Amino acid sequence: PIVVNGIMYVTTSFDHVYALNAATGEEIWHYQQKLGPITTYCCGPNNRGVAVWGDAVYLATLDSKLVALDAKTGAVKWEKQIADPEKGYSETMAPTAVAGMILIGTNGGEYGIRGFVKAFDAKTGDVKWTFNTIPENSQGVWATNDATGRDMHRDIAGEKAAYQKDGDPYKTLGGGVWQNPAVDLETNRIYFVVGNPSPDLDGAIRPGDNLYTDSLVSLKLDTGELACYFQYIAHDVWDLDAVSPVIIANVSDKDGKPIKGLLHAGKTGHVYVHDAKDCSLIRYSDAMVPQENMWTLPTAEGARMLPGANGGVEWSPMAINPRLGLSYAINLHQPMTYTVKSAKYPDGKLWLGGAFAVIPSEEQWGNVTAVDYNSGKIRWQVKTQQPMIGGILATAGGLVFTGEGNGQFKAYDALTGSELWKFQAGAGVNAPPSSYTVDGKQYIVVGAGGNTQLDYKRGNSIIAFSLPE
């Protein structure tokens, strides 16, 4: 949820928006988007929230529209089509409101889209700029290693021959943007990560590095001009794309000097630390989950590799405690087999180029991990019964909050990882918690709605907590 002037704005599946009294939970208004006949979306009909600017609330919809609502009444102020849902475009991310603009990316990396980030005028809905996350020349440098230096077993000669024969695949190369950018008004920059190439598992029909998929990207806020980028996995054929949002923080560079940095938690199970100025990689953390057979290529029979396609860290936002120099992430351990099967572009339909399947005989679990982002060392870990997905919150008071698919919502000691408190919500707590204050009183709030991706128990509750008077 997002709280502005004592009003909490919450979204649910299928693009409902609720305005609630943030102190009491009383409903003020409710808006339901009338979705069009075509809604093409990956991984559930979820919505990650709204943005608020001035007297308007902004919602992005499953049928790829941006809607401005009156913040007091929920009445529609304007509605704009972002992209064509018949071509696989959809929206599950929350918009970002900044500098009189509404920033929004797009989903559709499983459907052969060409990804983008757009800036809309907050008052009129007019497009101010567009950045294509897939450039017309997406071949890159033909990288053979991932961000950690491991060989990805690419057939560079074969790819170059295919590129020469068929040209650049940029028009259907994917590169969706799942989550909000981090905004730095001081430098007029935004930072976000770009998702997987299309099709997910069949790299034979998309030769090259497939820029800017699986990358950290920075743009100039006012123009959308590219400032810098860093690609974690070139020519990804494992769906281990970059999806958890970026955090801006003061970090130590390789010489131990303090600089403005960026943190991103990957499906690979690493926390990556970058220089905010040029996007260069400073360090990566110890692996937070098992890594086996990396980077084994998918086969027609099926190849086993860890992490599976869900990570590591899925969409779940990280949190940091700057005083302790610790980042906090929730992880999945979910062994999978990767199968490749070539298929032509299906014109906006699901296009995986194979399949990734959970191995039912192998144990699945999750963890909560604290990483010292100035050294890359794991400070503490707590294993959970189920794979973790949702998000995590760190407070200035030294607490860390996160939820589990079994309905448990827990508080941990930020320094040691000791469990301090828990609450049974009755459904999967698979959303990021938030902290806010009303009239000087602090609240912790979280949604308990379950999760489609991991099939955790569904629910429809928003639960707020506070200390007794």
Distance CA 263, CA 320 (A): 9
Burial class (CB in 10 A: 0-12, 13-18, 19+), 296: middle
The single-letter code of the amino acid at 71 is A
Give bridge partners of residue 393 from the DSSP assignment: 401
Query: Considering Cα of 220, then 226, then 230, then 236, what sign does the dihedral take?
Result: positive
Token pair, residue 355, equals 């399949």
Separation between Cα atoms, residue 194 and residue 322, nearest integer Å: 26
Amino acid at 206: R
Tokens, residue 415: 């320094």
The residues near 169 (Cβ < 8 Å, ≥ 6 apart) are 138, 205, 206, 207, 208, 210
Could you write out the DSSP letters of every residue in 94-124? PPEEETTEEEE--B-TTTT-B-EEEEEETTT
One-character DSSP codes across 351-362: --SEEEEE-TTS
Q: How many CB atoms lie within 10 A of CB 355?
A: 16
- Of 172, 169, 311, which Cα lies nearest the Cα of 243? 311
Residue 83: what are its φ and ψ, rounded to 5°?
Answer: -160, 180
DSSP string, 17-69: EEEEETTT--EEEEEE----S----SS-S-----EEETTEEEEE-TTSEEEEE
Q: Tell me the C-alpha distance between 261 and 242, whole Å.
A: 17
Q: What amino acid positions are annotated as catalytic residues?
A: 239
CA dist 209 and 212 (Å) reads: 8
Tokens representing residue 12 in the block:
């649910």
> What DSSP element (H or E) covers 419?
strand 419-424
